[in-house]
C-alpha cells in the first residue's frame, strides 16, 4: 500500500516531478543519435568504469563493485558537467583458476585473465575515440583493475600523441586516501580491527548508502578463515557510507580535472 500511494503521488506531480530528476548521463540509456548530439554539444569527456563480480561474504551481493562504481561514476560525470558514462566493465581479474585462488575460491566470483581484461578496456577506449570523445577517463572500483587500466592508458597515449585524444587512468579513485577514510570511521566509533580489506565496515557502509537492498544486515559476520570477509562489517551504516562515498567522488573529480588540465595536446 505504501508503494502504491507513493506511485499515485508521483503520477499526480506529473511533469514537475520528472523535471526534478537528475539528467541522464548513462550512454546505455541513450540512443546513438543522442550520444552524437551530446558530443557535438560539448560532452567530450567520457568515464569508463570497471567493477568486478566477486564474493562479498554472507551479507553483501556479488555485484557490489559494479553497483558502486556505476553510482559514483554518474555523480562524478554530473559534477564535471561535460561528461557521459560508458557501460560498466563487470568482469575483471580475480586470481587463478586451477587451483582457484583469491575470491575464486568462493561461489559467484567470475574472473577473467589480466590480458583479457586489458584487451577489453583497450577495445572500449578505441571505440569511444571513434565517436568523438577527447578525454577518456578510466576508474576502477576493484584493486585488480588498476594495472590493466594503467597499461592501456600508457599504450594509447603514446599511440595517439599527435592527436587531441587522451586517456586518463585515475588510480586515486580506488582507496586514494586510506588514512583519511580511516580517520573518518574512527570519528564514528569504528575500531581499527573492524577496518579490513574486503567486505568490511568500509565496503559495506558504502553499499548501504548507495543501495541498502544489496546488503542483508542480519547476515553480516566478522571475518574468519571461511566466510570471505576481511574485517568486521557488523557496525556498517549509511552515515559512514555517505561520508566515504563523498570523499571518493570529490577526490576523483579533482584528479580528473587536474589530469585533463595538465595534459599536453
For the chain (265 residues), the mean pLDDT of every run of 10, in chain order, is: 42 46 94 98 98 98 98 98 98 97 97 98 98 98 96 98 97 96 98 96 98 98 96 98 98 98 88
First vs last C-alpha separation in the chain: 58
Cβ atoms of 91 and 49 within 8 Å: the answer is no
Which value, to the nearest 10 degrees, does the dihedral of the CA atoms of residues 247, 88, 146, 244 take?
20
What is the pLDDT, as a whole number, of residue 5?
Answer: 40
CATH code that applies to domain 23-261: 3.40.50.10310
What is the pLDDT, as a whole number, of residue 20?
Answer: 65
Going across the sheet that includes 83-85, the strands are: 83-85, 45-50, 135-140, 166-169
For 121-148, write each residue's pLDDT tens digit.
999 999 999 999 999 999 999 999 999 9
Amino acid at each position: 500500500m505504501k508503494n502504491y500511494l507513493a506511485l499515485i503521488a508521483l503520477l499526480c506531480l506529473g511533469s514537475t516531478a520528472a523535471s526534478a530528476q537528475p539528467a541522464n548521463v548513462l550512454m546505455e540509456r541513450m540512443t546513438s543519435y543522442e550520444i552524437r548530439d551530446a558530443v557535438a554539444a560539448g560532452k567530450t569527456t567520457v568515464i569508463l568504469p570497471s567493477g568486478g563480480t566477486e564474493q562479498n561474504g554472507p551479507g553483501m551481493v556479488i555485484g557490489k563493485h559494479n553497483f558502486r562504481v556505476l553510482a559514483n561514476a554518474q555523480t562524478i560525470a554530473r559534477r564535471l558537467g561535460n561528461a557521459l558514462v560508458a557501460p560498466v566493465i563487470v568482469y575483471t581479474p580475480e586470481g587463478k583458476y586451477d587451483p582457484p585462488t583469491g575470491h575464486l575460491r568462493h561461489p559467484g566470483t567470475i574472473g577473467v585473465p589480466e590480458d583479457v581484461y586489458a584487451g577489453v578496456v583497450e577495445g572500449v577506449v578505441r571505440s569511444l575515440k571513434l565517436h568523438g570523445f577527447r578525454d577518456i577517463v578510466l576508474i576502477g572500483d576493484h584493486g585488480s583493475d588498476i594495472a590493466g587500466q594503467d597499461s592501456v592508458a600508457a599504450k594509447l597515449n603514446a599511440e595517439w600523441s599527435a592527436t587531441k585524444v587522451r586517456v586518463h587512468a585515475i588510480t586515486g579513485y580506488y582507496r586514494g586516501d586510506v588514512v583519511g577514510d580511516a580517520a573518518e570511521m574512527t570519528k564514528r566509533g569504528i575500531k581499527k580491527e573492524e577496518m579490513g580489506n574486503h567486505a568490511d565496515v568500509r565496503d559495506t557502509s558504502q553499499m548501504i548508502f548507495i543501495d541498502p537492498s544489496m546488503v542483508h544486515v542480519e547476515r553480516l559476520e566478522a571475518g574468519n578463515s571461511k566466510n570471505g570477509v576481511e574485517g568486521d562489517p557488523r557496525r556498517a551504516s549509511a552515515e559512514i557510507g555517505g561520508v566515504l562515498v563523498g570523499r571518493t567522488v570529490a577526490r576523483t573529480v579533482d584528479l580528473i580535472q587536474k589530469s585533463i588540465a595538465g595534459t599536453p595536446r
